[in-house]
């Protein structure tokens, strides 16, 4: 019986080893500190850099303008480029205004074009105007040309808040999607709002509270300074009642949204009024035209405040996930579906709440059954940063952004030890980061996570590095390979020990 018990013990031990090696979220590593960052993204084909959008800082006299920068972070060294990629002058960043996001054209490597979403001075009444602008990179890939600026779209915002603020290109159709809020104020009411139904439900001559879809490389309105784009013929309101640019409507403040880079599905994080926050889902094959319900609906319920709530419109689409305020204020920021190096985390959608500081994840095909709060895993010591946004790099790693300056990378336990840059390789670039951050207390080069980059972290890199091809060929065995190897060794030891014990027992009884 004893050999059997020993065998069972080793099998249990093996199961524990395999379970612990199962890839899951393991923490969040501080990769950089910026000045009031609100968004991060990557250029197509560039796995070594993050582009960090800073909302802007007041410069004081003589004109009290704001300078807002886009800065380039080198993930191999943890250092920013010596000068900004782009600097823009803005009149004001109070409220929810400022430089809010950016997007690279899918053909950026060939045409060098990228886009920003910014708050500028009003051109025709209102509080200010939202601008989507096109720029081009110079021959230096780290510096854009400010003189290349051209206006793609602009529209008046009646109040300082609910600007939306996100732009992005679909990986399926390569069109530019522009998220606009309802124009501010409470319950989509007041000056600058369509009285009977609000801006978000008004689809004629009103681009507020919408998701727009345009082709920024064309121009169907050469005589209109506000619209310098082409409208895709497949947009849902082309040829029927409704503004041709509108792709979806019924949104309150879609601050942060994303496309699933693998499927093309669109996920919209819409900030609620006083009761619900929500995540809306649009499948990649959708023909557009979805009505997400605001101002009649807040999440899955009739809007309880302002006397504007009502029955769900026949064409309205409920969010795939919403959550209650429970008496406190809340503010969702939409995130991303993970498509990074860890196959066990693949397909999970990550998002958070600025006010509660919560970060969650779920699988979009079963949100209620899979919803998981991951704060304690990401920040086991606690963290009160004012987190407002997420982003992803070219490899698919996800990042969390705080306006206090901190930019964190979400780590998984499938990340190869010594892969300090998170690009799926352990090579000379990781060594360079370790060397540059030696002595630093907060860095992804802290391989053993003891709070300091030191010689012990070099050992982590050295023991796992393959520098035969220091740039592209330094792959590390997949975690599944280590599991198989560990299991084989454990099983061999178990069998060997059982054989020894059985022979010893037989000798004693003979």
Q: Considering the domain 40-386, what is its CATH architecture?
A: 6 Propeller (2.120)
Residue 468 pLDDT: 38
pLDDT mean over 163-171: 99
pLDDT, tens digit, for every residue of 409-419?
A: 999 976 678 88
pLDDT, tens digit, for every residue of 316-351?
A: 999 999 999 998 889 999 999 999 999 999 999 999
Overall size of the chain counted in residues:
510
Lowest mean pLDDT among 69-73, 240-244, 459-463, 500-504: 500-504
Give alpha helix (H) positions in 412-510. Answer: 428-436, 455-464, 479-509
pLDDT at residue 480 tops 60: no
Residue 60 pLDDT: 60
Alpha-carbon span 385 to 333, nearest angstrom: 14
pLDDT at residue 58 tops 80: no
More confident: 94 or 132? 132
| Strand 276-282 with 297-298, pairing | unpaired
Q: Are 68 and 87 in contact (CB under 8 A)?
A: yes
Alpha-carbon span 155 to 372, nearest angstrom: 38
Confidence of residue 87 (pLDDT cuts 50, 70, 90): very high
Residue 291 pLDDT: 99
Alpha-carbon span 418 to 405, nearest angstrom: 26
Residue 481 pLDDT: 42
Lowest mean pLDDT among 13-17, 137-141, 248-252, 415-419: 13-17
Residue 495 pLDDT: 42
For 15, the enclosing helix (H) or strand (E) is helix 2-21
Name the region of 120 (left: φ>0; alpha: ψ -120 to 50; beta: rest). beta
Confidence of residue 441 (pLDDT cuts 50, 70, 90): confident
pLDDT, tens digit, for every residue of 218-233?
A: 999 999 999 999 999 9
Alpha-carbon span 272 to 331, nearest angstrom: 7
Q: Are 48 and 393 in contact (CB under 8 A)?
A: no
Confidence of residue 95 (pLDDT cuts 50, 70, 90): confident
Confidence of residue 53 (pLDDT cuts 50, 70, 90): very high
Tokens of 462: 């050295």
Q: Are 464 and 476 in contact (CB under 8 A)?
A: yes
Alpha-carbon span 256 to 167, nearest angstrom: 9
240: which residues sit within 8 A by CB, 6+ positions away?
none
pLDDT at residue 7 tops 90: no
Would you say the pTM of this structure is higher than 0.75?
A: yes
pLDDT at residue 472 tops 90: no
The separation between CA 109 and the C-alpha centre of its own chain, rounded to angstroms, equals 22
Burial 271-296 (b: 16+ CB within 10 A, else e): bbbebbbbbbbbeeebebbbbbbbbb
Q: Are 305 and 318 in contact (CB under 8 A)?
A: no
Name the region of 187 (left: φ>0; alpha: ψ -120 to 50; beta: rest). left
Alpha-carbon span 460 to 359, nearest angstrom: 29
Query: 30 has which bridge partners?
Result: 408
Alpha-carbon span 184 to 181, nearest angstrom: 7
Tokens of 482: 């280590």
pLDDT at residue 18 tops 50: no
Give alpha helix (H) positions in 131-194. Answer: none
Q: Are 266 and 328 in contact (CB under 8 A)?
A: no
For 429, the enclosing helix (H) or strand (E) is helix 428-436
Q: Which of 449, 409, 450, 416 is closest to 430 using CA atoms?
A: 416
pLDDT mean over 446-459: 87
Residue 121 pLDDT: 95
pLDDT at residue 482 tops 60: no
Alpha-carbon span 506 to 488, nearest angstrom: 27
pLDDT above 70 covers a percentage of the chain that reads: 85
End-to-end alpha-carbon separation of the chain, Å?
A: 18
pLDDT, tens digit, for every residue of 360-380?
A: 999 999 999 999 999 999 999
Mean pLDDT of the chain: 88
Alpha-carbon span 450 to 443, nearest angstrom: 11
Q: Are 461 and 434 in contact (CB under 8 A)?
A: yes
Alpha-carbon span 289 to 428, nearest angstrom: 49
More confident: 503 or 11? 503
pLDDT, tens digit, for every residue of 181-230?
A: 999 999 999 999 999 999 999 999 999 999 999 999 999 999 999 999 99
């Amino acid at each position: 019986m004893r050999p059997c018990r020993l065998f069972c013990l080793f099998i249990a031990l093996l199961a524990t080893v395999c379970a612990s090696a199962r890839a899951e979220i393991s923490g969040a590593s501080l990769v950089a500190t910026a000045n009031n960052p609100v968004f991060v993204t990557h250029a197509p084909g560039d796995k070594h850099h993050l582009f960090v959008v800073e909302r802007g800082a007041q410069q004081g006299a003589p004109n009290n303008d704001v300078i807002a920068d886009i800065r380039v972070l080198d993930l191999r060294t943890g250092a920013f480029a010596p000068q900004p990629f782009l600097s823009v002058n803005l009149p004001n960043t109070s409220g929810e205004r400022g430089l809010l996001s950016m997007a690279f054209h899918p053909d950026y490597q060939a045409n060098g074009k990228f886009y920003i979403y910014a708050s500028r001075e009003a051109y025709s009444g209102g509080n200010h105007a939202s601008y989507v602008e096109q720029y081009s990179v110079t021959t230096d890939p780290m510096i854009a040309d400010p003189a290349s600026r051209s206006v793609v779209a602009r529209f008046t915002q009646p109040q300082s808040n609910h600007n939306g603020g996100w732009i992005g290109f679909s990986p399926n159709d390569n069109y530019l999607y522009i998220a606009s809020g309802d124009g501010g104020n409470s319950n989509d009411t007041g000056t600058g709002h369509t009285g009977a139904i609000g801006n978000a439900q008004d689809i004629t001559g009103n681009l507020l509270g919408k998701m727009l879809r345009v082709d920024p490389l064309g121009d169907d309105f050469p005589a209109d300074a506000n619209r310098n784009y082409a409208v895709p013929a497949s947009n849902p309101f082309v040829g029927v009642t409704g503004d041709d640019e509108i792709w979806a409507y019924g949104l309150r403040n879609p601050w942060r949204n994303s496309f699933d880079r693998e499927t093309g599905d669109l996920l919209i994080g819409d900030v609620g009024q006083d009761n619900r926050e929500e995540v809306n889902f649009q499948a990649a094959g959708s023909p557009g035209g979805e009505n997400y319900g605001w101002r009649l609906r807040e999440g899955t319920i009739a809007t309880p405040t302002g006397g504007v709530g009502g029955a769900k419109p026949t064409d309205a689409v409920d969010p795939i996930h919403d959550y209650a305020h429970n008496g406190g204020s809340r503010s969702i920021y939409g995130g991303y579906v993970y498509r990074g190096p860890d196959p066990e985390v693949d397909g999970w959608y990550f998002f958070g709440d600025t006010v509660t500081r919560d970060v969650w994840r779920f699988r979009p095909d079963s949100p209620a059954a899979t919803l998981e709060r991951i704060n304690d895993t990401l920040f086991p010591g606690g963290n009160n940063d004012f987190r407002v946004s997420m982003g992803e790099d070219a490899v698919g790693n996800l990042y969390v952004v705080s306006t206090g300056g901190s930019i964190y990378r979400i780590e998984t336990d499938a990340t190869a030890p010594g892969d300090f840059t998170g690009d799926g390789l352990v090579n000379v670039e990781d060594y360079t980061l370790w060397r540059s951050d030696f002595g630093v207390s907060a860095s992804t080069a802290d391989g053993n996570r003891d709070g300091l980059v030191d010689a012990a972290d070099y050992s982590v890199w050295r023991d796992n590095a393959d520098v035969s091809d220091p740039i592209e060929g330094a792959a590390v065995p997949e975690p599944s390979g280590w599991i198989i190897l560990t299991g084989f060794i454990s099983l061999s030891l178990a069998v060997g020990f059982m054989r020894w014990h059985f022979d010893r027992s037989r000798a004693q009884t003979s």
